[in-house]
Amino acid sequence: MKLLAVDTALGGCSVALLDGEKILAHIFEAMDRGHAERLAPMVDEAMRSGITQFPALTHLAVTTGPGTFTGQRVGLAFMRGLRLALHIPLTGVTTLEAIALAAMAETKHTRAAVIHDARREEAYLLLKDGTEVVQQPCVMGFADAVERIRGFGPCALAGTGAQSAKEALGADFILSSIRQPDALWVARLAQTMPQSNEAPGPLYLRAPDAKLPGGKPLV
């Protein structure tokens, strides 16, 4: 299986090209904006360095969210276009589960909590125990998310809120270095998931902050 995965949903832009377990290409750049301009050149660079032509791809993967309103749409629109052009499956993976998998691999811990700043004193939260997602991605007050992690018990901490959570939770909780999703882990997750003929859509946990003229929300 030659799989191309991308992520543009949060504070990074990344591309990974895998052939089974072999990593053919992997590019990650931290960025808060500019994903739309950077994604296509990064995909081109990955395909060239992986010495792979687009018709050789058998599978695609992309993060669906939660994330920034624009960031989520950049990756999804690009990969849905490739799906139509190449007639191959596209798997959607949540940003938080990709972060959790990376944190578990880094710390060698079998349990992970992802707590990511969602602004407005809120956090995106996911809890993962082995292969089971105990708490699906949700948004709640930051303090409430920390208490939810405390109730979950000792685990690896990841996401942009992990440092603050660690300070509140203490020594039983392991702080990983993972703060953003990475297409490499999106690809590895997608390899374990069933393929679908349906195109994934964005995962929105709340309405976007931006509004159209006249105060109407974006949809």
Say what the pLDDT of residue 206 is.
76
Say what the pLDDT of residue 76 is.
98
Asked, for residue 68, whether it belongs to a domain, the answer is yes
Say what the pLDDT of residue 209 is.
53
The answer to whether residues 89 and 102 belong to one domain is no
Give mean pLDDT in consecutive 10-residue pieces for the chain, a chain of 219 residues.
96 97 97 96 96 96 96 97 97 98 98 96 97 97 98 98 97 97 98 92 77 50
The answer to whether residues 10 and 67 belong to one domain is yes
Number of domains within the chain: 2
CATH of the domain at 146: 3.30.420.40
Torsion over CA of 159, 163, 168 and 172, rounded to 10 degrees? 80
The answer to whether residues 41 and 57 belong to one domain is yes
Domain span holding position 170: 96-175
The answer to whether residues 104 and 67 belong to one domain is no
CA atoms 52, 55, 58, 59: torsion sign: positive
Q: For residue 117, what are its two tokens? A: 């700043």
The answer to whether residues 60 and 100 belong to one domain is no
Say what the pLDDT of residue 219 is.
45
The answer to whether residues 78 and 14 belong to one domain is yes
The answer to whether residues 54 and 102 belong to one domain is no
Asked, for residue 160, whether it belongs to a domain, the answer is yes
Say what the pLDDT of residue 207 is.
66
The answer to whether residues 51 and 101 belong to one domain is no
The answer to whether residues 90 and 187 belong to one domain is yes
Secondary structure of the chain as H, E, C letters? CEEEEEECCCCEEEEEEEECCEEEEEEEEECCCCHHHHHHHHHHHHHHHCCCCHHHCCEEEEEEECCCHHHHHHHHHHHHHHHHHHCCCEEEEEHHHHHHHHHHHHHCCCEEEEEEEEECCEEEEEEEECCEEEEEEEEEEHHHHHHHHHHHCCCEEECCCHHHHHHHHCCCCEECCCCCCCHHHHHHHHHCCCCCCCCCCCCCCCCCCCECCCCCECC
